[in-house]
Structure 1
Amino acid sequence: MIIKWGPKSLFAKLLAAHMVVIMVTLATIGFLFSYLVDKYFFSAREWELTAQAEQVAELLAAEFQAGNFTEVEKMSETLSVSMDVKVRVMDDQRNEIVTAIPPQGESTESVTLDPDEIDFIMQGDVISKKVYGPAVQHLLVGMPIFKGENGREAENPEVIGGIIVNAPLASLRANAAQISSLVLYSLLFATLVAGFFAFNLAKTISRPLQAMTSAAMDMKSGNFRNRIDINDKGELGQLAATFNQAVEETNKTIHEQKRLQALRQNLVASVSHEFRAPLTSIQGFVDAMLEGFIREEEQEKYLRVILNNTLHLNRLVNDLVDLASIESGYVQLRYEDVDPYTLAEKALDSVYPQAQEKSIKLEYNYEEGLPAIRGDGDRLYQILINLLENAITYTPDEGRIALEAQLSDDKEKVIFTVKDNGQGIPLAEIPYIWERFYKVDKARNRANKGKGLGLAIVRELVHMHNGEVAVKSTPGEGSAFSVIIPIEEKEDEKSPD
């Protein structure tokens, strides 16, 4: 069975990756540095030893040519001691004449040049050779000895002998090893320092990602309150900010979906309820007529009840279709200059018959010099009609309703207010009255055949005009519904000419 091992967390993977890169990089640098140091030391020593061999050959040339080998031996020993090298002198027949070893020198009989290499020397060439072994490490330089004063510079130089200079490399190798040790210790220290920074970097990178993982797990369990707090202006900070924004938007979307789901459920329940009562009434009276339970002289009365219920259902369907069209964006406003006085009078004239049925007194109070409103005249008329019909529905017989029109304090809006002296609305229920099918007193509303859609339509139409809605109410004293409509059309709402 093969067991795969490796870091599991992102932090561990980042740290491992950084450490591998650091160690490989530093190891490569250390190897190259050691190699270059080694090469430099040996190249310098080789150059130095070659110069020394050439100097020895020049010093020995005159005595060697004269055949004064005793003097050659003395000079070789002196040079061997002063240069700390082994000097071997050969004649042109490759016979060793002199071997000079420094006092502290080691025996290196086995360390020499091959016959082929000695042939190169006798042909006038210079040769160098490194000898490495478990016990010996030497550098050898072979140099020819030329006849005459000009030596190598003569027109036809003649080789009369050769020298082999042998220098030990142990001390050189020790110096290189010491430098390599210093480099190794430096690299170990650099690894520790780089590891510390790699640890912090990996932690800095992984911390926000771990926080996002934790927040995502909270989101999975339905908790959208967790946010990521990262003080970073780079990509990680942007990522955290984007994540927080996404969580916020997701949270809003979920709440909106829940709200819409609740509205849909409420809509279905409310529509079913609103349709059930008139349909049941229609069905009951029709069955009674068909079965002959209602006398012929009473049928007209019940037929009017059926007609009223049918008209109520028709208005309910029309309002639902109208509200759905507005909310879906299918309704487009036709902007024109609308006179607020004419608009208010037209609305009051339209609801006057309904007010008369309940002996309700209608009043119109307005401010002089109101400017024209830039809006859709039909939709503004619908707004006032819905507010007035709502007031009439919930105002008792012989009550009072007032329609007021005035300019706002900033002179940029016209405010229409419908006041009644009805039963009023409890403060806790005011935020919900603009929702469709919401009714404060459902039993009273059913009796008055309120549809619960008028105020929802008012709010949507006012918002389409970039306006606002407001309501003030005192239970037992009455209510005041206001719509605030801007006088001028916004630039982005203007239709092209």
Structure 2
Amino acid sequence: MQRRFMSIRFKFMGAYLLILFAVLILIAGVLPSVMSQYFIDLKTKNLQKTQEIIQATLEGPNDFRTDESAQSKLETAAQAMDINIWICTDTTVTNNIRVYTYGSENSPQIANTELQPQSLQRIQDVILNKGMRPTQNAFPEIFTGNTLSIGYSQKYLSRVNVMTGDGSILSYNETKQAAVFLHISMDDISTPVSGMYRIVLFAMLALTVVASLVIGVISNNIIYPVNQMKNAAKAITNGDFSKEVNISTNDEIGDLAQSFNKMAHELQEVDKLRSDFIANISHDFRSPLTSIKGFLEAMLDGTVPQEDHAKYMQIVLDETNRLTKMTNNILDLTKMENGQEELHRSNFDINEMIVKLAIGFEQRIEDKKLKMEFQFLQEKLYVNADLDKIQRVVYNLIDNAIKFTDEGDRISIETSIVGKKAYVAVADTGRGIDEESLPHVFERFHKADKSRGYDKKGTGLGLAIVKQIMLNHQEDIQVTSKEGQGTKFVFTLPLAYKINLVEKK
């Protein structure tokens, strides 16, 4: 169970749904409030429009309380806008407030209702010109539903009758202050707001279902290849490098699958090289060890006469030297590959070095009646490299050329300058290398079957060492060959510019 909750699918779906719910909850909280505020603003504007009509009526030439025309205007405005109009006047400085109401017959009446102290104070504040902003449910003892009210102070003409000393009545208009309240029902807002809540709730449920399906498909597209790679990785761990991930999408997952398959293929190649390495080294070590053991046993049990001991001891020594050379080559190659051998670069004349090395092969060349040719485009050619390592490269190439050429064949060594590089080529007219073996000539212990027949004493490490030396120099070596027509190796080295310029002068 814990493993399931920690899975990518669960995390992906959980994160997606969490974001979805957060957005929907935000919408559910904000949208109805925005919508409600919109209706409130709309109703407030309607109330403010009625306010202008009331102001003109109250400030007219007559007392609105006795003027039937004013009463009709107020009643018509209230019913047309479906609102309640209160005009509150006070007759003394105390809370003796009289309220004149206008509105529909179904409107709440204030006549028989006792106002709460808070409501009385609100009316008194408005009369004193303090005003009241749009307020919901300002008079709960009067209105049972949700009501929006605004209040403002308004002057009005009051007809005053005064009895004179002679018993006559004198009438005049006096300006007084009243509190006008406009009330409008908000119950019609609750219906669309409630509908909005239902729509948001339905949208949340629908989007949750759709999102779950979409997330399921998306997560499968991600998790399926991940599971494939996981299973392939387990197979590789168990030694099965043939397991591949069958994904061909044109996205990052597809790129990852291709990289994984490439890695598996390279691991398979490495494993094959390791197996071949063990097989080859076992074969190459077993042959001389078998000879050494056989000759020693023969000498110990008397099979070999005493007078022949020296002869066979020399064979044993040769085989021992062969094993020592092979072991040293393996160690040297391993150090080179691991970067444990530093290069000691210097400037030297590679033409001179080649000639000196060739002199060391003079006897073998004469024994096979080979022709050795030198083609130097200039008398001296200075390069910058590790002298000992390049000597080993040239030695191995000449040694191979001699091994795989027959009597009367020709070996040629050429040096030249192309661009900013010195080119060295070692070519022969010997047996050549078949097309199948050519790509593998620089691999450890690689020997073509024909080569094994011709060179039973070779270790199969010479060209691998040559390749690694050139790699350590960050230079290139190439081989071209055609079976029955010969082989050519070409490698490059950096020039020692200053010295070459001096030589040219």
- Provide TM-score, normalisation by structure 2: 0.69
Measured in 2, the distance between the counterparts of 1:16 and 1:123 equals 55
Query: How far off is 1:269 after superposition?
Result: 2.0
Match of 1:439 among 410, 430, 447: 447
Measured in 2, the distance between the counterparts of 1:107 and 1:412 equals 107
Query: How far off is 1:52 after superposition?
Result: 7.5
Match of 1:72 among 66, 69, 84: 66
What amino acid does structure 1 have at the position aligned with 2:244?
A: N
2:492 aligns with 485
What amino acid does structure 2 have at the position aligned with 1:384?
A: V
Match of 1:291 among 301, 305, 328: 301
Measured in 2, the distance between the counterparts of 1:414 and 1:122 equals 109
2:247 aligns with 226
Q: What's the secondary structure of 2:459's corresponding residue?
A: coil
Answer whether contact 2:445 2:459 (CA < 8 A) is retained. yes
Answer whether contact 1:379 1:461 (CA < 8 A) is retained. yes
Q: How many residues align?
A: 447
Measured in 1, the distance between the counterparts of 2:112 and 2:383 equals 115
Task: Please tell me whether residue 403 in structure 1 is matched to residue 407 in structure 2.
Answer: no
Match of 1:425 among 433, 455, 461: 433
Instruction: Summarize the Cα distance change of 1:383–1:73 in structure 2 as closer, same or farther, 3 Å threshold.
Output: closer
Task: Please tell me whether residue 24 in structure 1 is matched to residue 25 in structure 2.
Answer: yes
1:331 aligns with 341
Q: What's the secondary structure of 1:427's corresponding residue?
A: coil
Task: Please tell me whether residue 315 in structure 1 is matched to residue 313 in structure 2.
Answer: no
1:463 aligns with 471
What amino acid does structure 2 have at the position aligned with 1:480?
A: T
2:422 aligns with 413
After superposition, the C-alpha distances for 1:285-337 in whole angstroms (9 at most, x for unaligned) are 22222222322222222122112212222221222222222222122222222
2:139 aligns with 130
1:66 aligns with none
Measured in 1, the distance between the counterparts of 2:494 and 2:24 equals 74
Q: What's the secondary structure of 1:72's corresponding residue?
A: coil
- Provide TM-score, normalisation by structure 1: 0.69
Which structure 2 segments of 5+ residues have no match? Answer: 79-84, 133-137, 161-171, 233-242, 498-505
Q: What's the secondary structure of 2:361's corresponding residue?
A: helix
1:156 aligns with none
1:368 aligns with 377
1:282 aligns with 292
Query: How far off is 1:406 after superposition?
Result: 3.3
RMSD of equivalent CA atoms: 5.1
What amino acid does structure 1 have at the position aligned with 2:334?
A: A
Query: How far off is 1:433 after superposition?
Result: 2.0
Query: How far off is 1:419 after superposition?
Result: 0.6
Measured in 1, the distance between the counterparts of 2:48 and 2:455 equals 120
Identical aligned pairs, as a percentage? 18
Query: How far off is 1:369 after superposition?
Result: 1.0
What amino acid does structure 1 have at the position aligned with 2:250?
A: D
Answer whether contact 2:86 2:99 (CA < 8 A) is retained. no
After superposition, the C-alpha distances for 1:150-199 in whole angstroms (9 at most, x for unaligned) are 6458xxxxxxxxx89787745x755x568x47x9679959x979x99x97
Q: What's the secondary structure of 1:324's corresponding residue?
A: helix
Structure 1 range deviating more: 220-229 or 299-308: 220-229
Q: What's the secondary structure of 1:485's corresponding residue?
A: strand
Query: How far off is 1:443 after superposition?
Result: 8.2
Measured in 2, the distance between the counterparts of 1:40 and 1:438 equals 91
Answer whether contact 1:367 1:407 (CA < 8 A) is retained. yes
After superposition, the C-alpha distances for 1:261-305 in whole angstroms (9 at most, x for unaligned) are 322222222222212221222222222222223222222221221
After superposition, the C-alpha distances for 1:415-464 in whole angstroms (9 at most, x for unaligned) are 2213143x432221111122121111278448641221112112222333
Measured in 1, the distance between the counterparts of 2:69 and 2:289 equals 139
2:37 aligns with 36
Which structure 1 segments of 5+ residues have no match? Answer: 64-70, 154-162, 231-239, 491-497
What amino acid does structure 2 have at the position aligned with 1:364?
A: E
Answer whether contact 2:432 2:487 (CA < 8 A) is retained. no
